[in-house]
Amino acid sequence: MGVPGLSLEGKLAIVTGGRRGIGRAIALAMAEAGADVALCDRVTDDGELAAVAEEIQRLGRRALAVKADVTRKADVDNLVQVVMGEFGTIDILVNNVAMNIMAPLLELGEDGWDKVINTDLKGYYLCCQAAGRKMVDRKGGRIINIASTAAMKAAPGMGAYCIAKAGVVMLTRVLALELAQYNIQVNAIAPYMVRTKFSQPLWSDARTLERIEAEIPLGRLAETKDVIGAVLFLASDASGYITGHTIVVDGGLSA
């Protein structure tokens, strides 16, 4: 008996935060695997989101770039409505958008707390809810939440981010149980540090980078391509009996 492949031919995926970094890499990888892709980001004025959509189109897939702030229910509902109007279905949702404010919890202001929690947790809930309802109607779908190893290991100065990502892991588990009856699988991926602009403040000087890489058994930071395989696996038929799990992508750090 053969193993199901990682093809996403004929599927429609939504990728939040698809403008750059991990989101951009996921969107392009899904297109290369055969999916049409709808991208969203709250920033569109710099043209980067549109540029990713154009790259997807050059791969021979359909693409849609939508301005949306996932912390706002109206924006999320509009995103889903626009995608349904354009494609008629939502097969895969990848919640990827994230932000972080570096500060000890005793010094983090309420506004900073709200920004991190709303973006990194509430936004995932809103997108899961809106897209999940469409998946329930069609009795099938895949939801993939990008969490972090920060969900499992506290990091000083990153309290709100750690707490939000821990919430994403539990959101994944609860939704997996609630949506299994509708043939919807919900899983998460927890990368350690990935070499992107988002994480650059954490490894910006050579000495810090050397120390971090020395702690990782594989001896290097992850690149965006290192996250892609896990996403494609969870989005494809190859993971047809997996739900409620978090795949850790950390180069062996948690071993």
pTM for this prediction = 0.95
Max CA separation in the chain (angstroms): 57
Vertex 181, ends 176 and 184: CA angle to 5°? 50
CA 102 – CA 217 distance, rounded (Å): 26
pLDDT at 1: 45
The alpha-helical segments, DSSP class H, found in 48-191 are 48-58, 73-87, 110-117, 123-138, 159-179
Instruction: Tell me whether strands 63-67 and 92-95 are parallel, antiparallel or unpaired.
Output: unpaired
The residue ranges of every structural domain in the chain are 12-249
pLDDT category of residue 83 using cuts at 50, 70 and 90: very high
Catalytic residue among 161, 182, 192, 241: 161
- At 135-159, the pLDDT tens digits run 999 999 999 999 999 999 999 999 9
- At 225-239, the pLDDT tens digits run 999 999 999 999 999
| Active site (annotated) includes residue 161 | yes
Two structure tokens written together for 174: 């609860």
Residue whose C-alpha is closest to residue 94's, from 166, 46, 164, 41: 41
Q: For the domain 12-249, what is the CATH code?
A: 3.40.50.720
Query: Using only C-alpha atoms, what is the Rg of the chain?
Result: 17
